[in-house]
Amino acid sequence: MPEPTTVSDPVDVLMVEDQEALASSTVEYLTLSGVSAAYVSSAEEAHAALASRKPKLVILDVNLPGLSGFEFCRRLRRERGDIPIVFVSARTAEDDQILALSLGGDDYIAKPYSLAVLLAKIRRMLDRLSSSGPPEPAVYDDGWLLLDPGSARVRVGGRDVSLAALEFKLLEHLVANRGRVVEKRELFRQVWGGAVTGDGTLSVHIRRLRTRIERDPDRPRYIRTVWGRGYIFEEPA
């Protein structure tokens, strides 16, 4: 049984949630699973807890008293641009999810949520943060799309597909960071190496990539646009 944390102990996860029963049960589950966690009930309390508890990740409700989760996310991105933010909300409209991601959220989970799924997502993000270096290139294969960085091989629907060098680097970076929004400036830096380019060039490469890997390029399943921010690679359900 893990030792309970005090109000000043550092934690892996800070949950900002005004439903005390839900917050308490979530924090208890995470703690028993080896992920130290604490919760506060408002954005104002969260602001103070960020300094004292130094969390590595924030779970953020949308409907909070006072400052909303959306507004707090905006503020947090200005002050702590690197901290992962996982939204949890009973609001399931697509517009709310897109807004959350465009403001800087890394994921959006609808209530009621599975504690096991939430834990898996959190562990994945924490593992990425604790990695001492770039991850080893791993083969991605979901049955339709196969990407093997080691051999620079791409197969779609069982057939080899030839990609231009920049298209391959773009796909490789999106797949390696699947499940999170990859901002345009990151793609410019990691794919183009900081060379002068623009949104138009990126859009053209994304469109070409979609025609090669998507079943329906006009209704992309893998590479989704997050307007005003960048793109997210999503694995098939």
State the SS3 of 187-222.
HHHHCCCCCCCCHHHHHHHHHHHHHHHCCCCCCCCC
Which pLDDT does position 83 carry in this prediction? Answer: 87
For residue 236, what pLDDT is reported?
Answer: 84
Give the mean pLDDT of 203-214. Answer: 95
Asked if pLDDT for residue 136 goes beyond 60, the answer is no
Sign of CA dihedral 185, 186, 191, 195: positive
Characterise 187 by phi-psi region: left (phi > 0), alpha (psi -120 to 50), beta (else): alpha
Non-local CB neighbours of 105 within 8 Å, separated by 6+ positions:
60, 73, 85, 86, 87, 181
Place 70 in a pLDDT band, splitting at 50, 70 and 90: very high
Tell me, what's the pLDDT at 51?
83
Least confident of 18-32, 96-110, 217-231: 96-110
Mean pLDDT of the chain: 88
- Please report, rounded to a whole number, the percentage of residues in the chain having pLDDT higher than 70: 92
Q: Residue 111: which pLDDT band, with cuts at 50, 70 and 90?
A: very high
Q: What is the pLDDT of residues 86-109, one digit of tens each?
A: 999 999 888 899 988 888 888 999
Q: Please choose, from the candidates 46, 37, 38, the residue with its C-alpha nearest in 3D space to the C-alpha of residue 68.
A: 46
Confidence of residue 132 (pLDDT cuts 50, 70, 90): very low
- Average pLDDT on 111-123 reads 93
Question: What is the reported pLDDT for 39?
Answer: 96
Q: Are the C-beta atoms of 231 and 225 separated by less than 8 Å? A: yes
Give the mean model confidence (pLDDT) for residues 58-62. 96
Read off the pLDDT of each residue in 220-237 and give the average, rounded to a whole number.
Answer: 92
Digit-coded pLDDT (tens) for 152-207: 899 999 999 999 888 999 999 999 999 899 999 889 888 888 665 688 889 999 99
- pTM summary value: 0.55
Query: How high is the pLDDT of residue 213?
Result: 96
- Three-state DSSP at 176 gives helix
Residues paired with residue 226 on neighbouring β-strands, in sequence order = 230
Q: Distances in Å between the alpha carbon of 84 and those of 5, 98, 130, 184?
A: 22, 16, 13, 17
- Whether residue 142 has pLDDT greater than 90: yes
pLDDT band per the 50, 70, 90 thresholds, residue 3: very low
pLDDT at 5: 47
